[in-house]
Amino acid sequence: MRETDVFSWTSLLVAYIRASRIPDACSLFDHMLIRNVVAWTALITGFAQNGEGDKALCTFKEMLEEGIVPRASTYVGVLSSCAGIPLIEKVNALVDMYSKCGDMISAMRLFERLDGKDRVTWNSIINGFAQNGNGVMSLFRFEKMIETDTTPNHVTFLGVLSACSHCGLLPEGFQYLHSMERKYGIVPQLDHYAILIDLLGRKNMLGEAADLIKRAPWGRDNIGMWGALLGACRVHGNLKLARRVAENLFELEPDNAARYIMLSNIYAAAGMWGDARTLRRYIYDRGLVKETSYSWIEINNIRHKFIAKDKSHSQLEEIKELLLKLVDPMKDAGYIFQIECSYFLVDDAFC
């Protein structure tokens, strides 16, 4: 069987499921190079029909995370998987499912109908609104949760702080962060600090963000936080702080070329061409290579991958033509093009 024959792979998968050979179906599914909505739905339905509702729901979540759009038949399988699950767990799973699909109206309908909501139910709806950009409703639901004497946990506050971030509510965000330990006995984790550091960075409060990293437990050694702050320095053109942040990252990740490249781009944006070229030469002399990143999109069950400056795609000319057509509408909409990756057009393999 050819690896690219999606129909044959999916047909065999369905055959395994109809024969209740779930382990074989799972093994085949894991080896499929292209897994379309039919394959995902078949596996979900197979789990549901064989009394493995938890696995069906977990598979559905993975499907959503992969960006696969469910069909009506997919939801039939998901709903049938809930048959053997207690009501509260069933509603929690469905609220979470609708939230991940961006259907907060359906999530709220289920939420409102349920009596005896537990902490998981509240967390699902609070995080659902936060993840879908409705910070005001997320915070409103949190206050309602407290009114019912339901005790929040660290997951609750991830949603609450994300809501503050979406709404730009910096003072409120710090109030919630401090209340975690003082009021509820919950020690804030790095994920909680990271949300506020991102918010401080977007508000161009970069010094405060650096101070918060130093105060966070293990924050001084957290690569993700320093990396986010360096990115914010790049956006706001804060060269002085960018140097200090980059030095911390160089100590933590001495062989990560991406950090050196970002500082080099910051130098270039500030017109400091000599420093930028010196840093690029240092990268070259040490033999550091930036890990290749790519974007992908799936169309008609075929996945297309792109890397920076990629000219190998079979439809390159059509892509160029479409991009040129988008330039004027983007300008009319107020978009300002960022061209910093063109600072080193000659002999630059890093951008």
Q: Which run of H or E residues covers position 63? A: helix 53-65
Residues 6+ apart with CB under 8 A from 91: 110, 111, 114, 121
Please give the domain boundaries of the chain with CATH numbers for all domains: 3-83 (1.25.40.10), 87-235 (1.25.40.10), 297-350 (no CATH)
On the question of pLDDT at 82 being above 80, the answer is: no
On the question of pLDDT at 28 being above 80, the answer is: yes
On the question of pLDDT at 102 being above 60, the answer is: yes
Confidence band, pLDDT 50/70/90 cuts, at residue 309: low
Range in 53-57, 103-107, 210-214 with the lowest mean pLDDT = 53-57
Over residues 174-187, the pLDDT tens digits come to: 999 999 999 999 99
How far is CA 195 from each of CA 1, 9, 259, rounded to the nearest angstrom?
47, 42, 21
pLDDT at 218: 83
Confidence band, pLDDT 50/70/90 cuts, at residue 349: very low
More confident residue, 341 or 76: 76
How far is residue 18's CA from residue 28's CA, in Å, rounded to a whole number? 14
pLDDT at 347: 42
Q: Taking the CB of residue 133, how many other CB atoms lie within 10 A of it?
A: 14
Identify any residues that bridge with 316 across adjacent strands, giving them in sequence order: none
How far is residue 255's CA from residue 177's CA, in Å, rounded to a whole number? 34
How far is residue 37's CA from residue 45's CA, in Å, rounded to a whole number? 12
pLDDT at 345: 35
Sign of the alpha-carbon dihedral angle for 174, 176, 179, 180: negative
Confidence band, pLDDT 50/70/90 cuts, at residue 84: low
On the question of pLDDT at 254 being above 50, the answer is: yes
On the question of pLDDT at 306 being above 80, the answer is: no
